[in-house]
Structure 1
Amino acid sequence: MKEFTMKYAHTNIAARDWKALAAFYCTVFNCRIKQPERSYSGEWLDRGTGLSEARLEGAHLLLPGFDDNGPTLEIFTYAEMVETADSMANHRGYTHIAFEVDDVRTVYDKALKEGGIPLGKVTEKPVPGIGTLIFVYFKDPEGNIIEILSWNRE
């Protein structure tokens, strides 16, 4: 059997306002927009997504800790959006993205100041043989769940 080269490419967030949500991630997590910004429509997009008359705009964000060729966070706004129920950490399927940070409390405070929505409380948990995990879950301004975490290593 032939071996195939694979690598993780991106995660997408469908946003009500891609520019405002991208600004949140750039401000809080030091992401950067990877040019060019995107504006897509046409039969090829409908065929690939399974939608009809899809139109979208958005951008890929370069993630902290990776170079310009690393995985991205793709944030798009579709001309027609379908609303869904608010997600919670225990919903089936994809539930959150996570960022490892130096100081959970400082980044959490910054996220809330920039429009983040609290879910949990900053929590510390000793993990034998590894160190102490410090983490918290919250939502971005559009309700997508984010975990931030750090480790105090033993």
Structure 2
Amino acid sequence: MALKRMDNVGIVVENLGGAVDFFRELGLELEGRATIEGEWAGRVTGLGDQHVEVAMMRTPDGHSRLELSTFLRPAVVADHRDAPVNALGYLRVMFTVDDIDETLARLRKHGAELVGEVVQYKDVYRLCYFRGPEGLLFGLAQELS
């Protein structure tokens, strides 16, 4: 059996509403919000009795999704948001945009901070990393061709 697709990337946040607003500003669409709880959910995650609020965000092309979650129960036990870009584990999510400068200007109004600087790779891309809601690491790419 072959892999069909990558369904979504999950990100745990403290402020679900603020994260939804940020990703709407970036250009993602809110697909839906739900509360997840019950014995079946705890069996999937291994957390037992859990209560989670979830917002599913979809890219405009409909191919990629971010699942934003905030845990009401059990309490969060670790925080990886301040890890540098060379830390082990998941690094970041990269988005392709039409105009990095315009996108950064809009996102800065929602607290985005550039990690290094916007750089150009040959005549192919302009790239940058930035910290978004709650210090989470993301990347932007602008195709130049």
TM-score w.r.t. length of structure 2: 0.90
Change (3 A) 1:117 1:82: farther
Q: Secondary structure at the match of 1:88?
A: coil
Instruction: Work out whether residues 15 and 142 of structure 1, in 8 Å CA contact, stay in contact via their aligned partners in 2.
Output: yes
Q: Secondary structure at the match of 2:129?
A: strand
Q: How much identity, in percent, do the aligned residues show?
A: 23
Corresponding residue for residue 32 of structure 1: 29
Residue type of the alignment partner of 2:142: S
> 82-91 vs 97-106, which deviates more?
82-91
Map 1:49-64 → 2, pairs under 5 A: 49-64=45-60
Q: How far did 1:5 drift?
A: 5.2
Corresponding residue for residue 41 of structure 2: 45
Q: Distance in 2 between matches of 1:5 and 1:16?
A: 32
Which segments of structure 1 move beyond 2 Å, counting only runs of 4 or more?
none
Instruction: Work out whether residues 87 and 143 of structure 1, in 8 Å CA contact, stay in contact via their aligned partners in 2.
Output: no
What is the Cα-based RMSD across aligned positions, in Å?
Answer: 1.5
Correspondent of 1:119 among 106, 115, 120: 115
Determine whether 1:73 maps to 2:66: yes
- Structure 2 residue runs of 5 or longer lacking an equivalent are none
Determine whether 1:88 maps to 2:84: yes
Q: How far did 1:95 drift?
A: 0.7
Paired residues in the alignment total: 142
Corresponding residue for residue 9 of structure 2: 11
- Structure 1 residue runs of 5 or longer lacking an equivalent are none
Residue type of the alignment partner of 1:18: L
TM-score w.r.t. length of structure 1: 0.85
Q: Secondary structure at the match of 1:142?
A: helix
Give CA-to-partner distance per residue, 1:5-53, whole Å, 9 cap, x none: 52110001100011110110001x2111112x11011111111101032
**Bigger Rg, which one:** 1
Corresponding residue for residue 104 of structure 2: 108
Q: Secondary structure at the match of 2:144?
A: strand
